[in-house]
Structure 1
Amino acid sequence: MDNVHILTYGHTAMTQDASTAAHFYRPTSVVNVTALTQELQRSLELPTLLDIFAEHVRPHAYFTGLQLHSCLGVNEMTNSQDNAVANRFDIEVEGEHLGRLVYLSDATFSAALQEQLKKWQQVLAYPLRNALTYNRVLRLATRDPLTGLNNRSDFNMSVEKKLEACRRQHRPFSLMLLDLDYFKQVNDNYGHQVGDQTLQEFATLLRQSVRATDSIFRFGGDEFAILIDDDHYTTNTVIAERIQAAVGNSELMNRYGVSCSIGFALAQAKDVNISLFERADKALYQAKFSGRNTYQGASELSAVPFTSLNAHNDNQKPPKNAKIS
């Protein structure tokens, strides 16, 4: 494929203020399409593809940010910055709509620049389709189909990465386990369709209660986990209280008498997957037997001493050997 030449402008066009018209920086240069094609074929990561494309195009066109809006959400180039004007281009391959590229600039692109970008985007389109297909398949393999949350398989990979970062880069985190109280009665009394609605509602409440840096997982049934990007006891209690408040304020959860119990553990550098999970699971078990609708932290990792691990309790302790649901 031949290099794509940029249209030449006179001196007036070159000195035109960027606030009135987006312009080429180097009107006599070329984009090395062969090099661009080769580099784009080396990755299936959407942000990486945008970085590669931007690296080749930005010397010739003015924009501060580049985003891809697709069925997988919004991806953007590294250090993408918002600006006043969003120049949008639909990307298609053989009649298939892949998404929309959005160039963020302080001016609307000229007609000449728009036509030039469309030619460069043809080089991006096929690698982009391959990456979208790959990531769609990957998402299906790591997502719970009912709630859209990450699944147990993805949890195992994620917690291993976090433990490695904790050991090597001193990046601490916490593991929170959650279990719905009285969920079995919902399925038994109202059917599995209502049970599914309850699980979907709980997933929505979890998304609303955690931060963007935290990751939520569904293991199956009514068992959930959150990897919290913080190892402070106080942070975990704030998130736990926020979740339980959201559940308590949910009309659907109240209608079917469902609450949740929570246990969490703060990761240590010496931890492995099993040891961390066991501590969080023991805390969850204690929360259940402390009366449900309660949260509890693993004591040996608490940032401050406390006499009772039961941080929140709205119910009476169940009788000995009582079945937990």
Structure 2
Amino acid sequence: MDNVHILTYDHSQIGSEAAKAAYFYRKDSALNTTALTQQLQRSLDLVTLLDTFAQFIAPYAKFSGLQLHSSLGVNEMTKTHSANVANRFDIEVEGEHLGQLVYLSNVAFTNKLSAQLKQWHKILAYPLRNALTYNRVLRLATRDPLTGLNNRSDFNVNMDKKLEACRRKHRPFSLMLLDLDHFKQVNDNFGHQAGDETLQEFAAILRICLRGTDTAFRFGGDEFAVLIDDKQFETNVVIAKRIINAVKNSAIMSQYGVTCSIGFTLARAKDTNMELFERADKALYQAKFNGRDSYQGALLETLSVRDLNTHKDSQKPVKNAKIS
């Protein structure tokens, strides 16, 4: 595939802010489309594809972020920053609409730049379709079919990755375990359809209460977990309170008399999977022991577990209890 030569503007002729944001930079420059094609064929990871494509075209267009909006949600290149204008381009392959590429810029792109980008998008389209297909299949294999949350197998993979990052890059994270109180009585008294409705409602609550950097998992039955990408132990408290309050305010959960117990802990670099899980599980057990409808944090200091305002009665503050 031949290189594509680009019509460029002389810097001395650029007077408006729009031109500064959307002109081609260099005279007599050419995008090496052969190298771009080869690089794009090396990965099925959507973020990697966006990073690769952005790196190749960055010398020719000024933008602060590149996003892909598709049926899998929003993926974006690394270090994307917000901007005033979203320049949108539909991406299609053989009549199949893959989604939209969105360039974040201070001003709208010029017609000449937009026309050139559309030509380069043809190079990206086929690797993008392959990556989307692969990720859809992968999602089916790693998702719980009832709730749509990630499953236990995916949890194990993500836990390993986060522990490795914790050891090598000193990036602490938290593990939160959640269990629905009185869930068995829902199936016994109202039937399994009501039980499924309760689980789906709780999954929806988790999606609302968690941040974009956190990931929720369903292990099976009424057992759930969340990996929280945050080094602050107090963040767990904020999220736990949010979840418990949302459960209390849910008409479905209240109808069936279901509440939630939560245990959490912060990961250490020396932790194994088993040690981290056991510490969070111990905190969850203590929350159950305290009367359910509460949360408990397992600290990393000399005290193995410390009660952090258990929330048994939202009208009455509960004193911290030290548990050895």
Fold in common (TM above 0.5): yes
In the alignment, which residue of structure 1 is the partner of 2:214?
Answer: 214
Verify the 8 A CA contact 1:8 1:27 in the aligned structure 2: yes
Which range moves more in the overlay, 160-169 or 226-235?
226-235
SS at match of 2:102: strand
Q: Does structure 2 retain, via aligned residues, the 8 Å contact 1:290–1:310?
A: no
- Kindly provide the amino acid, as one letter, of the partner of residue 149 in structure 1: L
Q: Which runs of 5+ in 2 are unaligned?
A: 315-324
8 Å CA contact 1:88, 1:100 repeated in 2 = yes
Shift of 1:92: 0.6
C-alpha separation in 2, matches of 1:201 and 1:49: 35
TM-score w.r.t. the length of structure 2 is: 0.87
> 2:252 maps to what in 1?
252
Tell me which residue corresponds to 2:318.
none
1:23-102 alignment runs, 5 A limit: 23-102=23-102
Distance 1:233 1:114, change over 3 A: closer
1:303 shift after superposition: 7.9
Cα pair distance change 1:275/1:105, threshold 3 Å: closer
Query: Which deviations, in whole Å up to 9, do the C-alpha atoms of 1:249-290 show, x marking residues without a partner?
Result: 111111111101122233333321112212222322232233
Report how far residue 304 of structure 1 moved. Answer: 7.2
The question of whether the paired residues in 1 share the 8 Å contact of 2:297 and 2:305 is answered with: no
State the alpha-carbon separation in 1 of the partners of residues 223 and 136 from structure 2: 25
Which deviates more from structure 2 when the two are superposed, residues 54-63 or residues 92-101? 54-63
Instruction: Please report the RMSD computed on the Cα atoms of aligned residues, expressed in angstroms.
Output: 2.6
Partner of 1:320: none
Count of residue correspondences? 313
Distance of 1:307 and 1:265 partners within structure 2: 11
The residue that corresponds to 1:311 in the other structure is 310
Q: Which residue of 1 aligns with 2:300?
A: 301
> How many angstroms apart in 2 are the aligned matches of 1:308 and 1:294?
10
Q: Give, as a single letter, the amino acid of the residue that structure 1 aligns with 2:259.
A: S
Q: For the residues of structure 1 that align with 2:103 and 2:82, how far apart are their CA atoms? A: 9
Between the aligned partners of 2:304 and 2:121, the Cα distance in structure 1 is: 59
- 2:291 and 2:27 map into 1 onto residues whose CA distance is 72
Partner of 2:225: 225
Rounded Cα–Cα distance in structure 2 between residues aligned with 1:240 and 1:172: 18
Percentage of pairs with the same residue: 68
Bigger shift: residues 87-96 or 203-212: 203-212
After TM superposition, list the pairs within 5 Å mapping 1:1-325 onto structure 2.
1-7=1-7, 14-19=13-18, 22-230=22-230, 233-298=233-298, 301=300, 311-314=310-313
| AA of the residue aligned to 2:265 | A
Instruction: Please give the alpha-carbon distance, in whole angstroms, between the structure 2 residues aligned to 1:190 and 1:43.
Output: 48
Larger CA deviation: 261-270 vs 146-155: 261-270
Are 2:86 and 2:102, in contact at CA under 8 Å, matched by a contact in 1?
Answer: yes
Query: What is the alpha-carbon distance in structure 1 between the residues aligned to residue 109 and residue 307 of structure 2?
Result: 63
CA displacement 1:210-244 (0-9 Å, x = unmatched): 33332211101110011223465543333222211
Q: Residue type matched to 1:254 in 2?
A: S
Q: CA deviation at 1:143?
A: 1.6
Return the alpha-carbon distance in structure 1 between the equivalents of residues 304 and 153 of structure 2: 35
Residue 251 of structure 1 aligns with an amino acid whose one-letter code is: A
**2:321 paired residue number:** none
